Amino acid sequence: MTVQPPEPTVPPAEPVKVALLGCGTVGTQVVRLLRLDSGEIAERVGAPVELVGIAVRSLDADRGPGVPAELLTTDAHSLVRAADVVVELIGGTTTARDLVLEAIGGGAGVVTANKALLATHGPQLYAAADAAGVDLLYEAAVAGAVPVVRGVRESLAGDRVARVLGIVNGTTNYILDEMTNGGYDFDVALKEAQELGYAEADPTADVEGHDAAAKAAILASLAFHTRVSLDDVDCEGITGVTAGDIASARDAGGVIKLLAIAERIEDTRGEAVAVRVHPVILPVDHPLAGVRGAYNAVVVEAEAAGRLMFYGAGAGGAPTASAVLGDLVAAARHRGQGGRAPAESAYAELPIAGPERVTSRRQVRLAVDDRPGVLAHLATTFADHGVSIETVRQQPGTGEAATLAIVTHDAPEAALRATVEALRETVGVRELLSDYRVERA
Ligand code: NDP
Ligand code: HSE
C-alpha cells in the first residue's frame, strides 16, 4: 500500500482590513457593491477584503438595509488606525486631509474620490504617500466611473500630451442639457441633478465651475507632469448662461457646454501650461457636443496617439463606487502582494500661464441700433484691437434695434478681452448680450 504525501497546505491569505470614511451617495454604494461581490473581489485581490468600519457624522441617519449598523462609528480616527486601506468619501478639505495624512502616516493605502482635497492639498499628500511608500489612488475624483486618471497617468506615460479638453462635471452638463433639449429653467434642472445624487453637498461648487476646476487641475498635473493647483485655474461657471444664449448657439449650429481645458502653450515667452474652465459654444459635430445628461467625456490630444476620447457616467453613487472599488482592489492587492501603483510626477515643472497667453475664438452677441454705419463702427473696434472677424449674423430686427452675433478668428485672449470692453462703448451698441468662446470641431 502506498502512502500519499499530505496535500501542501497554502495558508489562507490574511484579510485586508478596509475602513470607509463617509456613507453618503457614494459610500453607500461602495458598501453595497463590496458586500455583493465579496467573493470575486477576494479573488481579484488574492485575499478577503474585510470592511472593519464606516465613519459617519450621525449614527441616526437611515442608510438602508445594505449598510450594517454595527459597522457605523463617529470615531474616524480610531478606524483609520485599524485599517490596511482607507477609503475617504467624506468630502471637504480639512478633516479629509487630516484623516488621509493619518492613514498614510500609519502605513495604510488610501483611496479617495475627493477632487477638492487633491486640487488643494495634492502635493502634500502625494509627498506623504511617497515617503511612506503607500498608494494614494483617486480614479473617482475625475469624471466618476470614466478611467481617465489611469489613462492619462499610465497609458499615456510614453507620449507627450498637448491638450486635454473635457466635460468633467455631471451636474452642469445635466443642467445645460435640460435647458437645451428639455427647455427647462436653470433652477428646475439643478434641483433634479441634486435629487439624482450628482451635485456636491453645496452645489455652488458645481454651478460656479469650482468642481470642474479641481478636476482640471488634477488632469493638468498628470498630463503635463507639473504641479497645478485649484488657484492656477481660470474659472467661470454657468450661472450666467441664459435661454437666449442657448437659442443663439443653436441658431449658429452649436451647443453650450462647460469645458475644462488644459493645454501646453509654446510662445515667445517659452513653454507653459494654461488651465481654465468656462462655458463654450461647441459645433454640433464636435465629439463633446453629443455628451448628454450627467455623462462626462474627456478628449486628450497627444503627439503620437492623436485624439483620444474617454466617455461615461461622471457622477452618481454606483458609477463613482465602481471607480472607487477599482482603486480599492489595486490598493488591497498591493497590501498583500507588495508593490505600489504608479504615482504622479512633477519633474517638468512648467510655469503656469495666465489666461492672457491663451488664444481662442469668440462669439459676441450685441443689441445694436438698426441703422446705417453701425456695422462699420463695430468693424473698426475689432480692427483697432487686431482681432479679425470670421462671421457676422444679424437676426431680423424691429427696424430700430437688431441683434448681431459676431464670431472672430483665433486671437490672443488679451486682445479679445480688450475688444469686448471697447464694444460696450462703441457707437450704436445698446447692450452686450453675451460673450462666449467658440471651439472648432
Ligand atoms: P455625501 O455628502 O452624500 O456623503 C458624505 C458622507 O461623509 C456622509 O455619510 C457624512 O456623514 C460623512 N461625513 C462628512 N463629514 C464627516 C466627518 N467629519 N466625519 C465622518 N463622516 C463624515 O457625499 P458624496 O457621497 O456625494 O461624495 C463623497 C465624495 O465623493 C466627495 O469628495 C465628492 O466630491 C466625491 N464624489 C462624489 C460624486 C457624486 O456623484 N456624488 C462623484 C465623484 C466624486 P453623515 O451621513 O452622517 O452626514
Ligand atoms: N458634483 C460632481 C458632478 C460629482 O456633478 O460631476 C462628480 O464629481
* Same structural domain, 68 and 213: no
189 belongs to a structural domain: yes
Question: What CATH number should be reported for the domain holding residue 234?
Answer: 3.30.360.10
pLDDT in tens, 128-148: 999 999 999 999 999 999 999
**pTM of structure:** 0.94
Burial environment of residue 199 by CB neighbours within 10 A (0 to 12, 13 to 18, 19 or more): buried
CA of 170 to the centre of ligand 2 (A): 5
Binding site membership of 174 for ligand 2 (Cβ less than 6 Å): no
Binned at pLDDT 50, 70 and 90, residue 397 comes out as confident
Query: How remote is the CA of residue 319 from the centroid of ligand 1, in Å?
Result: 15
Give 288 Cα–ligand 2 centroid separation in angstroms: 17
Q: Is the CB of 200 under 6 A from ligand 1?
A: yes
* Confidence band for 402, pLDDT divided at 50, 70 and 90: very high
Measure CA 25 to chain center.
18
Residue at 9 is within a domain: no
Report whether residue 188 contacts ligand 1, using a CB cutoff of 6 Å: no
Backbone angles phi, psi at 439, to 5 degrees: -90, 155
- Looking at the annotation, which residues are catalytic? 215
Q: Grade residue 8 by pLDDT with cuts at 50, 70 and 90.
A: low
Q: What is the pLDDT of residues 76-110, one digit of tens each?
A: 999 999 999 999 999 999 999 999 999 999 999 99
Neighbours of 424 (CB within 10 A): 11
Does any ligand 2 atom lie closer than 6 A to the CB of residue 25? no
- Of 57, 74, 125, the residue with max ligand 1 atoms within 8 A of its CB, to mutate for a pocket test, comes to 57
Residue with cell 512633477: 346
Which stretch of DSSP H or E encloses residue 162?
Answer: strand 161-167
**Alpha-helical runs (H) found in 37-163:** 38-45, 76-81, 95-105, 115-132, 148-150
Beta pairing partners, 255: 282
The Cα–Cα gap between 112 and 328 comes to: 9
Note the pLDDT of residue 396: 77
Instruction: Give a yes or no: residue 426 inside a domain.
Output: yes
Q: Classify residue 198 as exposed, middle or buried by CB count within 10 Å of its CB (0-12, 13-18, 19+).
A: buried
- Here the cell at position 97 is 486631509
Asked whether residue 200 falls in the same domain as residue 112, the answer is no
Q: Are residues 196 and 283 in the same domain?
A: yes
Q: Which domain holds residue 126?
A: 16-144+319-337
Closest CA to 317 of 82, 144, 135: 144
The span from the CA of 26 to the CA of 316, in Å, is 7
Q: Is residue 352 part of a domain?
A: no
Contact 310, 297 (CB under 8 A): yes
User: Is residue 51 located within the same domain as residue 32?
Assistant: yes
Q: Is the separation of the CB atoms in 377 and 334 below 8 Å?
A: no
